[in-house]
A = this chain, B = another copy of it.
Amino acid sequence: MVSLNQISARAELERLRYQIEEALEDFVQKRLSQPDAPVMRLVSDILLGGGKRYRPVLSVLAYQACGGEDKEKALNLALSGELIHTATLVHDDINDQSKLRRGKPTLHTTTSQSHAIIAGDYLFALGFGLGGHNDDRVVERIASTCGGIATGEVLQMEHIGNLSTTPEDYYAIVDGKTAGPFASACWGAAIAAEAEIYADSMDIFGMELGRAFQLVDDLLDLTGDPAMGKPRGTDVHDGKMTLPIIHALTMLHGSEYEHFTDVLTNFSDERWGEFTELIGKAGSLQYVRQLIENHIERALNALEELPESRARTLMAELTKMSERRRT
């Protein structure tokens, strides 16, 4: 059941998402009449191609929940994060050889790989430029977060197909690639709002929410509905060691373990049935669902450290929604 309060919260979140969309559009439009127009033309579609705008919405809300009142400052910080996030998507899509992103052809397939590498670099530069107007500590955090993303990605590549990947390895990857940027966005919002006192809580909130976010992604890869635009089994195909898989490898024994490792190392679409049956036997989906709940709870607890406000309520709503998302 969705309550009236939830409906109104969702409408407000949608309005905020729309504001971010508008700010991004302004940002793109301005650059289309500047000397860097040739590169901006390359990336404008992917920048304005929708997406949930989860991180920038969160960043603006965190800024407001921490008492910040300069909406433009909040939007700039949020856009900075979104530009950098998009940069990593463009480069990830090259590295994963992905043909589609949000149902549209990826940049390296519509232009060329070289163009996409440069376009990603350009997006990084834009993101850093926009984020650079903040407190030195925020700038440093943005840079170290990007270092963490790179580290997470290198670790992930090193663990491709590695069946002895541990949960600790997994969290090192996730904390670098996904949770780190969430934490950085929320922590940075607190600092930008000059609410040092809430910075740690925002850091924890972002980190826990980011972990939950990644685990939901892992689950959706196994249970997602292709009709919702979420292809299924991509991680398994790519040999990515997601937590459900790591868990199943720990829980299964004897012939079932042998069977599962055989499915993983010789995976093809025809083996999807075997794969889900074994994952089911291991209880891995329930396990990961429980972990998600724990991370969400920790995120909500950290949020409680902030004074009550409408922004805080919306952050809590967004947090709960993230657990139930389908795409």
Residues in B with CB closer than 8 Å to A64 are none
Residues in B with CB closer than 8 Å to A158 are 38
Binds B, one of A140-148, A273-281, A285-293: A140-148
Q: State the CA gap A95–B116 with chains docked (Å).
A: 10
Stoichiometry (number of copies): 2
Whether B118 pairs with A38 at a CB distance below 8 angstroms is no
Q: State the CA gap A150–B5 with chains docked (Å).
A: 47
A residues with CB within 8 A of B: 35-39, 42, 87-88, 91, 94-95, 112-115, 117-122, 124-126, 128-130, 132-133, 136, 139-140, 142-144, 146-151, 153-155, 157-158, 176
Q: State the CA gap A119–B144 with chains docked (Å).
A: 14
Residues in B with CB closer than 8 Å to A151 are 35-39, 122
A95-B121 contact, Cβ under 8 Å, with A132-B140, A139-B132, A148-B35? no
Whether B153 pairs with A118 at a CB distance below 8 angstroms is yes
Whether B132 pairs with A147 at a CB distance below 8 angstroms is no
Residues in B with CB closer than 8 Å to A148 are 35-36
Whether B91 pairs with A121 at a CB distance below 8 angstroms is yes
| Cβ of A239 to closest chain B Cβ, rounded Å | 13
A sample of 6 cross-chain residue pairs with beta-carbon separation below 8 angstroms, ordered by A number, consists of: A95-B117, A115-B154, A121-B150, A122-B151, A126-B143, A133-B140
Q: State the CA gap A87–B87 with chains docked (Å).
A: 15
Q: State the CA gap A124–B95 with chains docked (Å).
A: 18
Q: State the CA gap A143–B127 with chains docked (Å).
A: 8
Q: State the CA gap A156–B36 with chains docked (Å).
A: 13
Whether A125 pairs with B154 at a CB distance below 8 angstroms is no
A125-B143 contact, Cβ under 8 Å, with A117-B95, A133-B136, A158-B38? yes
| Cβ of A166 to closest chain B Cβ, rounded Å | 16
Whether A129 pairs with B140 at a CB distance below 8 angstroms is yes
Measured CB to CB, the nearest residue on chain B to A112 is B157
| Cβ of A308 to closest chain B Cβ, rounded Å | 34
Measured CB to CB, the nearest residue on chain B to A155 is B38
| Cβ of A81 to closest chain B Cβ, rounded Å | 13
Whether B132 pairs with A118 at a CB distance below 8 angstroms is no
| Cβ of A43 to closest chain B Cβ, rounded Å | 10
| Cβ of A88 to closest chain B Cβ, rounded Å | 7
Choice from B95, B115, B143 contacting A128 with Cβ under 8 Å:
B143
Measured CB to CB, the nearest residue on chain B to A129 is B143
Q: State the CA gap A146–B118 with chains docked (Å).
A: 10
